Amino acid sequence: MYYVTFLYLGILSYFSTVKKKDIDFKLVAIPFVLIAFLRFGMGIDYFSYNKIYDSFNPSLSVIQNLNRSTNIEFIFRLLNIVFVKLRVPYHIFSSLFTLLITYFVFKLVNEKSDNRIMSIFIFYGLLYFYWNLSALRQGLVLTVMIYVFMSDRYDNVEKFIITILMIFVHKSAIIVPFFYFLSQLFNWNKKYFLLLLLLAPLSRVGNLFDLEALMVNIPIINKATKYLEYNSISYFSLPALLRLFFIIILIFHYDRILFYRKDLKKILNFSLITLIFYFYLPTSMLIGTRTTIFGYYLLIILIPTIINLYDYQYITKLLSYLFFTIVITVLFINEFDKQARRSGYNESIHKLNMETIFSKNYNHFSNGYAFDYNVQIINDTLVNKELETKINSDSFDTISSITDSNDYFSVYFPSHELYGVINTDGKIVLEPQFEERVTIIGPYLELINDESFLSDYTYYHILNLNTPVPFGEVKKYFIPYNIDERKGKLISRYDAETKIKNMDFLEIYGELPVIEYEWFQYLDSNYSVIRLATTNTSYYILLKDDEVLVPKLYKNINLLNENNIIRAHYFGNTDFINEEGEIVWYEN
């Protein structure tokens, strides 16, 4: 899909640039629409944005949802919430968002480019995979802000208002006015830009002031301090050399570009200032790239103009086209490979072209967020169908007697939307009848909420809810330590990774993106758990006597009472497990 699109755009650009054929601009849009709706997993942040989207609850109000994921900018959160409330799947939301970004790219190209087809070809090879398919928030800010500030349609008041709005999509919007102001500050020429580039190494001589200390108290900007890392941008890194290459190309053609297209002065100056500024940033490569990408982006307008400067002979035009096509091809291969690796794709990079929404192969990605979804899908397939039928039934068979060999706990009955009571064998003791989960001590239920737990006659026997019993009868069933205390009584063990290698059931989850293994033993118990830490979360495996009790990955595991009833959780689901390893009930 991605290779075919590159070849398709390359062929169209050849005919439009070298053969000077008039090609319908709409033909160029077709593959972008297909990719937006067909892709699956492509984009470093594809699954993390999926996680953000799923963090909002359609059943909650807009205000309640806005209080979630508060580290995400307000307008982006609001857009997510609107689509979630409309029950729109994440993939559709992501596709529409990607197309909105692409729309502004096409809009700028349509208004400013000498060769629209070539511009889109360059855009696809240089920018599309990261700034359209991955970084959705900054991708939208990038395209909207560049269009607004480089277009002649908007006055300063409108630019200011749009900037404020875009800040609430991604904070990087504030960068564009700064560089735009510099580009308009005085009458730039290529000598000034060359001098600015040559002076850049002097910024590395020493830190004249503590930039981090200066920024930390400035609202919005202070979020960038976590990226500060002095002298971390190497002049000989690929991103630096690439920017240097394009800076030299632009400076060399500076006068000729403005002679040919005076209206591009604003775009040319803005692009050069931001590209050169990359070498002045005493920060990490990440913030350097995100800060200067705005000028890099404008190469999709400037390169076709440079190619057209060699239009005086067929051979010169062909050679200039071939030169930039080779550059774009190399960058496309690098970008595609980088996206595949950073997405955690486990299969052949070429197979990524065939990954679509129709297959949803989560296990092909070792990305931590993708693995979360894969665990959820696998765990859902492991549900016992007979138990599922029992839990969702409208009528129930209850037992008429109880024994000391069992313990009891309150569980939710989804068909009645009420709570009932079951025993450790999974048999129903009390049909659903309680509005809330009830506290159970031995065979007694607390039906009157008394926080002290000491008053007489607040407890009732499970089989006789009409007569309260004295507290003395209940007291003998109290556990000597509560759940939280037991959770804290853990001791570390060794060889967790070795133990994991012998667990065949893990194969159903695919490749594990685990960065750390830990083994913990419950004190005074034959239960233990192995923790598998990924880049963004942890999973647990439950063991008894050092053998896997339930062949399943969980997000959290709690011992519940003295008979070792276990509650194991994953993504809003809870399994109730007895000491034989049987899942006797589940809630979701």
The one-letter code for the residue type at 102 is: T
pLDDT, mean of residues 374-390: 91
pLDDT tier for residue 481 given thresholds of 50, 70 and 90 = very low
222 or 498: which leads in pLDDT? 498
pTM of the predicted structure, to 2 decimals: 0.80
- Look at residue 586 in the predicted model and tell me its pLDDT: 94
Q: Give the integer Cα–Cα distance in Å for 453 and 455.
A: 6
CB 447 within 8 A of CB 411: no
- Condensed to tens digits (0 to 9), the pLDDT of residues 329-369 reads 999 999 999 888 888 888 888 899 899 999 888 888 888 88
- Look at residue 231 in the predicted model and tell me its pLDDT: 45
- Look at residue 275 in the predicted model and tell me its pLDDT: 92
CA angle 578, 388, 573 (to 5 degrees): 65
* Closest of 108, 109, 118, 107 to residue 19, by C-alpha: 118
- Look at residue 145 in the predicted model and tell me its pLDDT: 96
Q: For the chain, state the CA radius of gyration.
A: 31
Q: Could you tell me what percent of the chain has a pLDDT over 90?
A: 52
For residue 157, the SS3 value is helix
Token code pair at residue 399: 């037992």
Q: Give the integer Cα–Cα distance in Å for 556 and 117.
A: 53
Q: How many CA atoms lie within 13 A of 124 on its CB side?
A: 26
Q: Give the integer Cα–Cα distance in Å for 577 and 550.
A: 8
Q: Give the integer Cα–Cα distance in Å for 146 and 173.
A: 10
Token code pair at residue 581: 């390893």
49 or 217: which leads in pLDDT? 49
- Look at residue 228 in the predicted model and tell me its pLDDT: 46
Identify the H or E element spanning 349: none
CB 24 within 8 A of CB 33: no
Give the range among 82-91, 167-176, 339-348 with minimum mean pLDDT: 339-348
- Condensed to tens digits (0 to 9), the pLDDT of residues 446-464 reads 876 555 545 566 788 888 8
- Look at residue 44 in the predicted model and tell me its pLDDT: 87
List beta partners, residue 39: 356
pLDDT, mean of residues 288-297: 80
Q: At what angle do helices 90-112 and 116-126 cross, to 10 degrees?
A: 140
- Look at residue 365 in the predicted model and tell me its pLDDT: 87
Contacts of 268 (CB under 8 A, 6+ apart): 250, 254, 257, 258, 302
pLDDT, mean of residues 166-194: 92
Contacts of 169 (CB under 8 A, 6+ apart): 73, 75, 76, 137, 140, 141
Per the prediction, the chain carries an average pLDDT of 86
CB 133 within 8 A of CB 46: yes
- Condensed to tens digits (0 to 9), the pLDDT of residues 3-14 reads 999 999 999 999
Contacts of range 568-572, beta carbons closer than 8 Å, 24 or more positions apart: 568/540, 568/542, 570/375, 570/376, 570/379, 571/372, 571/375, 571/376, 571/379
- Look at residue 219 in the predicted model and tell me its pLDDT: 60
280 or 147: which leads in pLDDT? 147
pLDDT at 543 over 90: yes
Q: Count, in order, helices (H) and strands (E) of the chain.
A: 24, 16
- Look at residue 554 in the predicted model and tell me its pLDDT: 94
Give the range among 158-167, 172-181, 212-221, 401-410 with minimum mean pLDDT: 212-221
- Look at residue 482 in the predicted model and tell me its pLDDT: 47
Q: Give the integer Cα–Cα distance in Å for 563 and 584.
A: 14
pLDDT at 233 over 60: no
pLDDT at 86 over 80: yes
Largest CA distance in the chain: 104
List beta partners, residue 576: 567, 585
* Closest of 277, 185, 288, 151 to residue 232, by C-alpha: 288
pLDDT, mean of residues 555-576: 81
31 or 404: which leads in pLDDT? 31
pLDDT, mean of residues 159-167: 96
Q: Print burial letters for 138-160: b (CB count within 10 Å at least 16), e (below 16).
A: bbbbbbbbbbbbbeeeeeeeebe
pLDDT at 208 over 50: no
List beta partners, residue 568: 557, 575
Helices (H), 156-298: 156-167, 175-185, 190-198, 211-215, 238-252, 254-260, 265-277, 285-297
